[in-house]
Amino acid sequence: MSKITRIFFTFALSLIFITIAAVYIGLNLSLPKLSGDLYSAHISNDITLERDILGTAIISGDSRKDIAYGLGFAHGQDRFFQMDLLRRNAAGELSEIFGSKALNVDKQHRFHQFRKRAESIVAKMPIAQKMLLQAYANGVNAALAEQSLNSFEYLLTNSTPRSWVPADSLLVIFSMYLDLQGRTPTRDMVLIHIEQLYGKNMLAFITQNSPYQAALDASLLPTDKLEIPALLMKNLAASKVTSIEEPLDIGSNNWAVRGALTASGKGMLSDDMHLSFAVPIIWYRAQLNYKSQIGDEVKQVQVTGVSLPGTPAVVVGTNGLVAWGFTNAYIDTADWVLLDDKQMLSTDIELIELPDSTLEYPIEISEFGPVKQINGKAYGLSWVAHQDYAVNMELMGLETASNVQQGLALATSIGIPVQNMLLVDSEGNAGWKPAGAVPSRTNPSNTAQQAYQFQDIMWQENEPNLPQVFNPDSSRLWSANSRVMSADESTRFGDGGYALGARAQQIRDRLFESERFNEQDFLTLQLDNEARFLLPWHKFLITLLSTQPTRFAKDIQYLRDWQQCACADSVGYTLVRSFRHQFIDASFAPIETGLNKLNLSLSVVKRYLEPAIWQLIVEQPADWLPVEFSTWDDFAISIYQDSVDTLLAKHSESEELADLQWGEVNRLEIKHPFSRQLPFLSRFLDMPSQIGFGDTFMPAVQKRSFGASQRFIVQPGSEESGIMMIPGGQSGHPLSDYYRSGFEDYANNVTTPLLPTDTVYKITIKVGD
């Protein structure tokens, strides 16, 4: 090696070392200080912020307003960048940080003008709620001011954190609207165009009621088979088989039993909310301790659960007397109105900021809402998220509820995406009610309405009369994103994209297998991955492959050994699941091809296709059979072989079926947003990859980066036995002790206590300048 080469090599190594050292020092400087005394002029009395071994934020003070400041401070220390992304996501302001790569998302979300709506709602809020949001914002901004150096996300994006304001907390709730209801307008638009392209009979065939129903009152919607609509030969000839993306079952499971079914006589609640996974995970452990005027008494309140960084409320939790949890309700909260030439349209210009420029983005506005132009027609969107009652801070009323009845009474005033709220109390009561914003209009529709039919005035009022169930005779309640209310009530409130119902049926049936439950029983049910839904598909596939037993001998053996579960080592489960997915894709390819030309897809209604696909399997209509096949068996075997080839190409270097174990195919991968763009950061930022064990259509919901974002089980008044498992840590800082805290327990199905443990760090925030 020459002297010059040695000098250059030494210089390069030194530069790398200096860079690594600078990054490490910078990351350390951006770590928040978790102990000591601070001063604030924005609180009435001293407050404390303690953290236990998991990083649970334990906040104690005299008033709820001061507690909001403390929670804002904790969120600002641990999660500010996540909060920033949530507000920017809803407002359509991601391009300011990420540039043109985020422009399409920003345009989609700016269409709803949530920044303007949030600012308008804050201006009209009751003074107490406005002051509480301001206190929370003050806490967040105090945490930002305490940082020695901006967090690494801002350094990597060459951007600067922007102060938090009260409207930002409402934008975080609007971001949840986009997650939980954002597909409803898209779903309706797809149904509108199925009807336009293929007729009313096709629309009815695709959306026919499923036999998988589990309403609380056991009512059933009719499931009479419909006539299969004819498919024209030109549709078959022009069709192209593409993967119809499986929609994420965003929603959740929850169930509850009355005290009659527990040893303590207290009600017991289980809640696991299903959302996309990222690092950090969306929820933040918190316990709030404060005094509240309840009636003529001043009582000490202790609320333990998970909060949503960006907002001052405990979303799911318990106060020792009442516990509450949610699943997405999926009632109809959006309608499209077909506009004619008589409708007056205006144009709003939204300014989208990019790092080096400003883009003018025009949005057409009708009297019914913002306008989309599709296939030469204009449609105005009325969505509950556009109404003034869509977001507020009334959810916090649950923190001081004394019993289930009080919690149920709050449901119609809560401003969140409408949820199935389940409540239990320490006296053994249990109840269900939709909680959240529900329009008062009485004519929900899955297809476009004419302007003259539209009851616009009723959209401007929140529905005061919602169904509820209190202390059912069975002592059991459940919901899992399918229809919960009665068949008659369902007609009134509409279908906004209900889940299929197989998951809810399995939960209901499990609950009736026992007359006594404890926390471990509920956790076992949360982890139930039995594949009851796929049993008919398993039988169908074995029968099909048995027509060629020599060719498919290995496949048949794996299918016989499938264990009837989404188990980690099951190859047979992978084969059945993939076959179903591709059989639906191939059978409905003519419809999907037509929709794709309009940038639409069956994806948002794919779960509805189960009854229709079984009619095709049983009746085998000749006009639905692709022209290159002479029989439906030939068609089905070809689909199976294609599905296996696709699996092997993606998951096996040796092209062996043995490599298709479900745990590997469905491996859990929880990634930081930056590692997706910069894979070399993965080892530093991501959670450890884990063998998968669950799927859709069963209680144990899990996909590669989706699933139970928390597992919560509690009997109010017996919180010491409660469970709160979360697939990620409290802090978003990769050098924090709390970056991965709790993940290992979640990944290994080890229970994590609900209540905080001994204090590790303590900050005292004192009154002062």
Q: Which residues are annotated as a binding site for Ca(2+)?
A: 332, 335
The DSSP bridge partners found for residue 439 are 462
The DSSP bridge partners found for residue 287 are 58, 304
Nearby residues of 357 by Cβ (< 8 Å), 6 or more positions away:
none
The dihedral over CA atoms of 272, 275, 277, 282, expressed in degrees to the nearest 10, equals -80
Q: Report the C-alpha gap between 311 and 484 in whole angstroms.
A: 28
Q: Residue 270 in contact with residue 525, Cβ under 8 Å?
A: yes
Q: Which of 418, 427, 424 is nearest to 477 (CA)?
A: 424
What token pair was written down for 133? Answer: 């949001």
252 tagged catalytic = yes
What token pair was written down for 401? Answer: 């509820």
What token pair was written down for 490? Answer: 């369902």
Q: Report the C-alpha gap between 140 and 165 in whole angstroms.
A: 9
Q: Report the C-alpha gap between 162 and 154 in whole angstroms.
A: 11
The H-or-E segment that residue 202 falls in is helix 200-206
Burial of 724 (0-12, 13-18, 19+ CB in 10 A): buried
Paired sense of beta strands 430-435 and 47-51, if any: unpaired
Annotated active-site residue in 252, 382, 479, 709: 252
Burial 536-555 (b: 16+ CB within 10 A, else e): ebbebbbebbeeeeeebeeb
Cα-based distances in Å from 33 to 56, 79, 761: 15, 14, 9
Q: Report the C-alpha gap between 243 and 234 in whole angstroms.
A: 21
As a whole number of Å, the CA-based R_g of the chain is: 27
Which residues carry a binding-site annotation?
332, 335
Instruction: Catalogue the active-site residues.
Output: 252
